Amino acid sequence: MKIVAICGAGVGTSGILKVNAERVLLRLGLSATVVATDLESLHAEADDAQIILTSPEFVEAIGRTSADVIVVENYFDTQELSAKLDAALG
């Protein structure tokens, strides 16, 4: 399974989402490759992704994708991320 975390520059928000997603997956007992990228590189990274993690302002820019797009409101809230990943993967 592949999860792509995106933000505008591919460093700040996406990096936080990546680290927190890895922690949540570990707690859920799930294995996945999690990568952080910028919006411009999304389609190259997300071709084989099952999930895209993003903040609300980038949802429209993602466009058509076969991946589930999960909007995360609070990047530091692992409970929110856990609930949303569990629902998407469950």
Q: What is the pTM of this model?
A: 0.90
Per the listing, tokens 């460093």 go with 11
pLDDT of residue 79: 94
pLDDT bucket at 11, cuts 50 / 70 / 90: low
For the chain, list the domains and their CATH numbers. Answer: 2-76 (3.40.50.2300)
pLDDT bucket at 10, cuts 50 / 70 / 90: low
CB 17 within 8 A of CB 5: yes
The tens digit of pLDDT for each residue in 37-88 reads: 988 888 888 889 999 999 998 898 888 888 999 999 998 899 999 999 999 9
Overall average pLDDT of the 25-40 stretch: 92
36 φ, ψ (degrees, to nearest 5): -105, 135
The Cα 56–Cα 70 span in angstroms is: 9
